[in-house]
């Protein structure tokens, strides 16, 4: 059975061109980039080339990019780094209630250490209201962190507006752009971000590598102490093959992004419309328009997301019931609850995320299989019987 992979938001397969570019850096060019002999400097040169490509993609300067072990580290670094560097000024952080766990859990950690965090609510589509951000600011606010697009429901936030508010108030603004970089245009400066998180494995690069953009002049405390790598902002010998792969992935994304976004948005809408038409008692989660081109998230009443997922798996179709990290937990998604969904609706949600190798035949197959799965599950569903 051919696998139909529709979970690109969880992770993307590494592009074959990326793998090819990485390979020599495991063997032929495996010197330590901190070594001053040419073998080490060759690796260093490859890192700098990749740094230039990542900077270029978000219209930043090379010195503003620090490589990390992924999006989670970039989020931790940004939030803890700013919090600890600005403790004398204030202890208040503003974020949203639909952030990725990498942001939410970091904020909760800081709350246990004396910081105060405001978690802004969102509207039924998952949008943060910039006026709520403005109203939440106090003279103790040191950081605002709102994600560029949500990984579960695909809603794209009014980041440029929030960035402007932060800039006017003289407060650092961080945005988690893990789901947008390489998929839609991201210009760090236009978004007003002082800090911006990225991850390679969401854009056909390898896992375990990411980056944090740090606008020139932004002071933050590093939380990796040791050597002097990354201009003393992040100690540890660099993941050279990973960074080189990230650079190649970014180069490919830059070439293909606009055409690919159009193709995916078309397939996304085919899938959304097909599901809403063919399965009754189904709703779209997330914004109908301000939405990532590859995200489909629906709640299907009277069935469990997990049951749909397992039945789809039997057909070779990979999807998700929320974010990858929470798929194994029975807690309903905090993002769906924040939209105002009931626990039952949140439990009956499915996310399909499309990508480079998604075809219209695959979308057609989902539209053929899922209504049958739902009909079968509903026929057995105690949820439906109690509704009638
Ligand atoms: N932020 C968002 C919005 C994400 O979707 C993810 C991954 O799911 C992360 C952060 C974490 O990135 P990484 O897996 O590279 O640590």
pLDDT tens string 169-188: 999 999 999 999 999 999 99
Contact 175, 193 (CB under 8 A): yes
Give the 3-state secondary structure of residue 145. strand
> Cβ of 297: how many Cβ atoms within 10 Å?
30
Cα 225 to middle of ligand 1, angstroms: 23
Give the 3-state secondary structure of residue 4. strand
- In this predicted structure, the answer to whether residue 121 has a pLDDT above a threshold of 80 is yes
What is the distance, to the nearest Å, from the Cα of residue 302 to the centroid of all Cα atoms in its chain? Answer: 29
Percent pLDDT > 90 in the chain is: 94
Closest C-alpha to 338, from 135, 127, 175, 131: 127
Start-to-end CA span in the chain (Å): 38
- Compute the radius of gyration of the chain from its Cα atoms: 21
Our mutation pick for probing the ligand 1 site, out of 69, 105, 179, counting the most ligand atoms within 8 A of Cβ, is 179
Tell me the pLDDT band of 360, cut-offs 50, 70 and 90: very high
Quote the CA–CA distance of 339 and 336 in Å, as a whole number: 5
Strand order in the sheet with 349-353: 282-284, 295-300, 349-353
> Which residues, judged by CB distance below 6 Å to any ligand atom, belong to the binding site of ligand 1?
70-72, 75, 100, 102, 147, 151, 176, 178-179, 199, 201, 210, 323
Cα 78 to middle of ligand 1, angstroms: 14
- In this predicted structure, the answer to whether residue 324 has a pLDDT above a threshold of 70 is no
Measured over the CA atoms of residue 139, residue 141, residue 142 and residue 147, the dihedral's sign is negative
pLDDT of residue 153: 98
Cα 197 to middle of ligand 1, angstroms: 9
> Cβ of 46: how many Cβ atoms within 10 Å?
22
pLDDT of residue 326: 46
Q: What is the four-CA torsion angle of 4, 7, 11, 16, rounded to 10 degrees?
A: 30
- Please provide the DSSP assignment of 272-311 as one string: HHHHHHHSSSEEE-S-SSSB-TTEEEEEETTS-HHHHHHH
Cα 338 to middle of ligand 1, angstroms: 19
Closest C-alpha to 303, from 274, 277, 280: 280
Cα distances (angstroms) measured from residue 298 to each of 29, 157, 276, 319: 47, 19, 8, 12
Ligand 1 nearest-atom number relative to CA 151: 5
Ligand 1 nearest-atom number relative to CA 99: 3
- Note the pLDDT tens digit of each residue in 160-170: 999 999 999 99
Ligand 1 nearest-atom number relative to CA 324: 8
Ligand 1 nearest-atom number relative to CA 199: 15
Tell me the pLDDT band of 331, cut-offs 50, 70 and 90: confident
Residue nearest atom 8 in ligand 1 by C-alpha distance? 10
Residue nearest atom 10 in ligand 1 by C-alpha distance? 71
Contacts of 160 (CB under 8 A, 6+ apart): 190, 191, 192
> Cβ of 372: how many Cβ atoms within 10 Å?
12
Give the 3-state secondary structure of residue 28. coil
Ligand 1 nearest-atom number relative to CA 75: 10
Residue nearest atom 12 in ligand 1 by C-alpha distance? 71
Ligand 1 nearest-atom number relative to CA 200: 15
Our mutation pick for probing the ligand 1 site, out of 70, 150, 180, 326, counting the most ligand atoms within 8 A of Cβ, is 70
**Catalytic residues, which ones?**
325
- Please provide the DSSP assignment of 238-279 as one string: --HHHHHHHHHHHHHHHHHHHHHHHHHHHHHHHHHHHHHHHS
> Cβ of 244: how many Cβ atoms within 10 Å?
27
pLDDT of residue 387: 63
Give the 3-state secondary structure of residue 37. coil
Residue nearest atom 5 in ligand 1 by C-alpha distance? 151
- Note the pLDDT tens digit of each residue in 37-96: 999 999 999 999 999 999 999 999 999 999 999 999 999 999 999 999 999 999 999 999
Cα 335 to middle of ligand 1, angstroms: 15
- In this predicted structure, the answer to whether residue 323 has a pLDDT above a threshold of 60 is no
DSSP annotation of 149 reads B
Cα 199 to middle of ligand 1, angstroms: 7
Q: Where are the alpha helices (DSSP H) in the chain?
A: 16-22, 38-57, 71-85, 101-111, 130-136, 159-169, 229-232, 240-278, 305-314, 334-338, 343-347, 360-379, 382-387
Cα 42 to middle of ligand 1, angstroms: 30
* Mean pLDDT value across the chain: 95
Cα 70 to middle of ligand 1, angstroms: 7
Quote the CA–CA distance of 48 and 178 in Å, as a whole number: 21
Place of tokens 């439906």: 384
Tell me the pLDDT band of 1, cut-offs 50, 70 and 90: confident
């Amino acid at each position: 059975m051919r696998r139909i992979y529709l979970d690109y938001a969880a992770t993307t397969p590494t592009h074959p061109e990326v793998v090819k570019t990485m390979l020599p850096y495991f063997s032929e060019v495996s010197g330590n980039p901190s070594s001053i002999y040419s073998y080490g400097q060759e690796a260093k040169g490859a890192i700098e080339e990749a740094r230039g490509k990542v900077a270029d993609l978000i219209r930043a300067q090379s010195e503003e990019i620090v490589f990390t072990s992924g999006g989670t580290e970039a989020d931790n670094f940004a939030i803890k780094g700013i919090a600890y560097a600005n403790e004398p000024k204030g202890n208040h952080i503003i974020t949203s209630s639909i952030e990725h766990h990498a942001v939410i859990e970091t904020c909760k950690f800081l709350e246990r250490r004396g910081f105060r965090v405001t978690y802004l609510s969102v509207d039924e589509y998952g949008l943060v209201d910039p006026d709520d951000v403005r109203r939440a600011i106090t003279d103790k606010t040191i950081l605002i962190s709102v994600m560029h697009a949500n990984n579960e429901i695909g809603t794209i936030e009014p980041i440029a507006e929030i960035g402007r508010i932060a800039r006017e108030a003289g407060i650092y603004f961080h945005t988690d752009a893990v789901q947008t970089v390489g998929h839609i245009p991201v210009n760090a400066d236009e978004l007003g971000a002082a800090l911006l998180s990225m991850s390679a494995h969401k854009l056909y690069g390898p896992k375990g590598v990411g980056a944090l953009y740090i606008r020139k002049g932004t002071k933050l405390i590093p939380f990796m102490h040791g050597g002097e790598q990354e201009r003393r902002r992040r100690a540890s010998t660099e993941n050279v093959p990973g960074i080189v792969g990230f650079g190649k992935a970014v180069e490919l994304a830059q070439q293909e992004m606009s055409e690919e976004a159009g193709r995916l948005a078309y397939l996304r809408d085919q899938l959304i419309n097909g599901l809403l038409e063919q399965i009754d008692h189904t709703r779209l989660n997330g914004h109908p328009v301000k939405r990532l081109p590859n995200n489909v998230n629906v709640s299907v009443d009277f069935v469990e997301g997990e049951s749909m997922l397992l039945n789809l798996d039997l057909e070779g179709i990979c999807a998700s019931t929320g974010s990858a990290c929470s798929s194994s937990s029975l807690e309903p998604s905090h993002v769906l609850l924040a939209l105002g969904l009931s626990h039952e609706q949140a439990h009956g949600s499915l996310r399909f995320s499309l990508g480079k190798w998604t075809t219209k035949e695959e979308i057609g197959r989902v539209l053929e299989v899922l209504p049958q799965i739902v009909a079968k599950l509903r026929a057995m569903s105690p949820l439906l019987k109690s509704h009638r």
